[in-house]
Amino acid sequence: MIDRTQWEQLSALLDEALDLAPAERATWLERVCAQQPALATALRRMLAQAERAEAQPDAAQALVTAFDQWLGPALVPGADERATSDLRGLPLGAWVLAEKIGEGGMGQVWRANRADGLFQGEAAIKLLRADLPAERFSARFARERAVLARLNHPAIARLLDAGVAQGQAYLVLELVRGRPLSEHARLHAPLLDQRVALLRSVAQAVEAAHAQLVIHRDLKPSNVLVTAEGQPKLLDFGVAGLLDDDAAADDLTRLTGRGLTVGYAAPEQLAGQPVGTAADVFSLGVMLYELVSGALPFGAAGDSRASLERAVMDTEPHRLLSATPTPGGPGPAEDAGRARGDLEAVIAKALHKDPAQRYRNVSAFIEDLDHWSARRPVRAQRRD
């Protein structure tokens, strides 16, 4: 059984190994295994699995998946049983789980039915991972529920309730039916104006939440569903707020290990520095870059996680109109060339490494999007 301390050591060693050229890894591995024999077997197996994942087309995501599959059951008592068990019919407060509809680094998502007889209804219930200490979140949920329930915006999937039952922390969220942002853009929003309008709606949701002192901290296309009516709905707004005290945030980072989505996270997040609203501005800038070009601004397909982190923190974004589209992404806008100049400047400002040099808030970012849409000069081009 791998304990938490060993896991942290293995995580760091795996990052170190994947930074090396493949030809150098065998020598490195023998040296490290001789120095730390207690970790040797686990490290050899992890590195072999990671190298197999690197060979897959979506290497970065495959690597995260392989890492979680190997470490998850070892770290989380009962995690393997949960993955294979059928939780249908499990009561959580006024709700009963009906069908699993998703799974990610934070836990499982289930469609649930209202079961207390007061009214009929459906919701999405997120079961937070079993290794996150539920007892620590109980009081936090009670404090934050009322605040997060005020996030009443058409582009935010509302948090309806939160609680702890049978040692399981859970969130009850508005059930949204739609396509992920990238898929919707690829299929139904080929033009730049359409894509900027979608991103503007998401930014308005972020702006509304910031007004309630709630930061998302995990903005990315997969956290936005677009309904059949074309309305973007931002998901998981509230998870960061619920967990955003120092102790819980530290546990979240440590226990999920690779919880952040590196391609969209701000440099200060990756560096473990204090995170404010500027981190959400950065993530919105990444999403806008991708909607214009079909690509991510940093790194390349097949990069290791450590390489991607260094690229986000240390390198400038790729040139917007010459970036290579990412498979499975939104694809480039048909008229992406219209982004040359002003929209490029808007994206560059949002993606500044220094949070103080980005837009002062999301409202200023939205204002420049409006200026661009109206064919007026954007503030990002000004030098004052």
Positions marked catalytic: 218
Please name the residues in contact with 114: beta carbons below 8 A apart, sequence gap of 6 or more.
Answer: 94, 95, 120, 121, 122, 123
C-beta of residue 168 within 8 angstroms of C-beta of residue 127:
yes
Measured in residues, the chain has a length of 384
Give the position of tokens 């050899």: 44
The three-state DSSP-derived secondary structure of the chain is: CCCHHHHHHHHHHHHHHHHCCHHHHHHHHHHHHHHCHHHHHHHHHHHHHHHHHHCCCCHHHHHHHHHHHHHHHHHCCCHHHHHHCCCCCCEECCEEEEEEEEEECCEEEEEEEECCCCCCCEEEEEEECCCCCHHHHHHHHHHHHHHHHCCCCCCECCEEEEEEECCEEEEEECCCCCEEHHHHHHHHCCCHHHHHHHHHHHHHHHHHHHHCCCCCCCCCHHHEEECCCCCEEECCCCHHHHCCCHHHHHHHHHHHCCCCCCCCCCHHHHCCCCCCHHHHHHHHHHHHHHHHHCCCCCCCCCCCHHHHHHHHHHCCCCCHHHCCCCCCCCCCCCCHHHHCCHHHHHHHHHCCCCHHHCCCCHHHHHHHHHHHHCCCCCHHHCCC
C-beta of residue 260 within 8 angstroms of C-beta of residue 295:
no
Please provide residue 145's backbone torsions phi and psi, each rounded to the nearest 5 degrees.
-55, -45
